[in-house]
Chains A and B, each alone.
Chain A
Amino acid sequence: MREARIYRFLLKRFVYALITLFILSVLVFGASTFLPGDVGRNVLGGFASQQDVDIFNHAAGTDRPLVTQYVDWVTHFVQGDLGTSFQYKVAVSSLLGPSFTNSLKLAAVAFIILVPLSILGGAIAGLRRNSLTDRVITVTGVSFTAIPEFVTAIAFILLFGLWLGWLPVTAAAPEGANILTQVKYLLLPAFALVAVEFGYIARITRSSIVENVDADYTRTAYLKGLKKKDVIGRHVLRNSLLPTIAVVATQVGYLIGGLLVIEKIFNYNGIGLRIFTAAENKDYPVLQSGVMLVGIVYLVATLTADILYSVFNPRIRFGGDE
């Protein structure tokens, strides 16, 4: 019974994710199509001859009806053919592939620092509710969440990179550097991403802990004569942390948004910088595929979060049944 409901819930979320992806694809496609002027003129510039513009439009297929272009684009995308970059005249996938790997590296370093740090911070704040420690953690978290990531990044660059000289201020390690060196180069940008995310995850953990500390079963455990250490360790932490881990997955989206700015600051060749450069140069094939890729990663993460959440939290109400 419960199983069936979970499956139905997940199926529903999967369908929603597909709908979202469809809307994103229309938006992304539309953004490059409903431009003032035509694509060839925009790409080649005002000085190109009309003949060149026509040739470009015909080669790029932008002189065909919109629906045909859209269907064509989606079919190719699904088959892994992302088209050719206007700017570099090479396959889009050959540009996006390495960038994507680079971003994954940066995101991985950020997550490895972020998850334990913010959950620990939130747990300490929750267990020592209303103490000075709680205040400090909560206020620091909220403040860093509100400050734009490039501001935090610059503060870190100045402090750790230039004044203290502890960390390199560029994100890309020299060619052929070993993995430790690579990680060292990624620390500063990762810290900037962590700063923005820390407050949110810590707050969720904190409120989850507080809820469980106040719960009836916790009181029962105490009344049963369990030691405080055991109550906290065996009941409170376990019950509050599992849902929190699911929440972490939803943060992937914000992380991706942050990548755009952070990779620009550190001049790091990731998917964010790729999307930004494509936007700046109106390189639509790269922009479209880059954004679609980001959207897919994000939706997969959200879906994973939903699955984790429905598995870990027995009290979840599966939408549609209320």
Chain B
Amino acid sequence: MSAMTDDAAGFDPAAGLVPTEAKIARREMVRQLMRSKTFIVGTLIVLFWVFWAITGSAFTPHDPLEQTSEILKAPSSSAWFGTDQFGRDIFSRVLAGAQSTLKVAPAATVVAITLGTILGLIMGFVGGFTDEATSRLVDAILALPLIVIAVVVLTALGSSSITLIFVIGLIFTSPIARTVRATVLGERQLDYVQAAQLRGERGPYIMFVEILPNIMGPIIVETTVRLGYAIFAIAGLTFLGFGVQPPSPDWSLQISENYTLLSAGTYWWTVVFACLAITTLVIAVNLVADGLQQVVDE
């Protein structure tokens, strides 16, 4: 993503000497973001989970996969969040569990944003039959409950993180393409695009070098919003058993493995902390998206 913005800046011959308009605008955006409480709080929580996702089990008090004879122990000073049915330390599992979610969901989002942006640019810029045909296909995919489609495809292809990334990535391509297309339609009327066309620039150049940098704002907002939805969808599918498989400490998988213990009336700690973890992450991502949205809208 930074490569794209650099392109936009490098386009100006005066770049580096005098701050360009684009640079000033970007600096102003960052300043506004720093003033947005929702954005700061959201970012801090996301960074907290990113830290644990990157370090994995390196700093957790116990090995998240280590089984002991201390099974289903309530939270105590030795195991802050208690232990599960295999005697594994839930505190360590909740921290290490950030990894699978923060690997799969962003990867799916990147697949979706890349394909969706390319498709949306082509649909909006080329127009005509290409646009009409692709729009119908996009509408058709959007017209169906996502999780149902995902279940059908994952049943056929088998459950794994990689399949999940591509299935969610492909399904999310549709809404992104639709958003990008609408934005491109707005840009197409502007002078700079017409000027480039008169200069005789080629289509791909106009799409990716002229238009793309100018629609980065909406694309960034769309990325964070989609990331929220991706976490939601992937959590549901993993809960149903279509994502990462045991013994991964993934949050949804932890909940899925332990929620049947709830009906016994106790053992609440085996699911509550994983629930809290996933809740803080999705709300934080939404706070970030909200903060970005407000700044981009201004």
Contacts and interface: CB of A to CB of B under 8 A. Distances in A.
A147 B279 contact: yes
Interface in B244-273: 252, 255-256, 259, 262-263, 265, 268, 271-272
B155 A279 contact: yes
A170 B236 CA distance: 20
Contact of B149 (A27, A142, A280): A27
Contacts of A282: 155
Given A142-B286, A147-B282, A148-B235, A256 B252 contact: no
B268 to A, nearest CB: 6
Contact of B143 (A20, A28, A30, A35): A20
Nearest to B154: A279
A294 B156 contact: no
B153 interface: yes
Among A35, A150, A261: residue with most chain B CB under 10 A: A150
Nearest to B289: A146
A107 to B, nearest CB: 13
A149 B239 CA distance: 11
A215 interface: no
B243 interface: no
A170 B235 CA distance: 22
Interface stretch (B46-54, B90-98, B113-121, B134-142): B134-142
B283 A31 contact: no
Interface string A165-208: 00001100000000000000000000000000000000000000
A115 B146 CA distance: 22
Nearest to A22: B140
A282 B259 CA distance: 25
A35 B156 contact: yes
A265 interface: yes
Given A16-B136, A143-B283, A291-B152, A264 B240 contact: yes
B17 interface: no
Given A24-B140, A154-B271, A154-B275, A257 B155 contact: no
A30 B156 CA distance: 9
Interface string B219-255: 0000000001001100110011100000000001001
A154 B262 contact: yes
B184 interface: no
A287 B228 CA distance: 28
Contact of B152 (A28, A253, A256): A28
Contact of A158 (B136, B141, B256, B262): B262
Contacts of A146: 228, 232, 282-283, 285-286
A310 interface: no
What band does the interface of chain A fall in when counting residues whose beta carbon is under 8 Å from B?
35 or more
Q: Is the interface of A mostly helix, strand, loop or mixed?
A: helix
A170 B265 CA distance: 13
Interface string A14-45: 00110110011001101110110000000000
Given A146-B228, A148-B239, A149-B236, A257 B153 contact: no
A230 to B, nearest CB: 35
Contacts of B278: 147-148, 151
Contacts of B290: 142
Nearest to B262: A157
B145 A276 contact: no
Nearest to A253: B145
Interface string A125-151: 000000000000000001100111111
Among B136, B140, B143, B149: residue with most chain A CB under 10 A: B143
A147 B283 contact: yes
A154 B263 contact: no
Interface of B: 136-137, 139-141, 143-149, 151-156, 228, 231-232, 235-236, 239-241, 252, 255-256, 259, 262-263, 265, 268, 271-272, 275, 278-279, 282-283, 285-286, 290
Interface of A: 16-17, 19-20, 23-24, 27-28, 30-32, 34-35, 142-143, 146-151, 154-155, 157-158, 162, 169-170, 253-254, 256-257, 260-261, 264-265, 275-276, 279-280, 282, 287, 291, 294-295, 298-299, 302
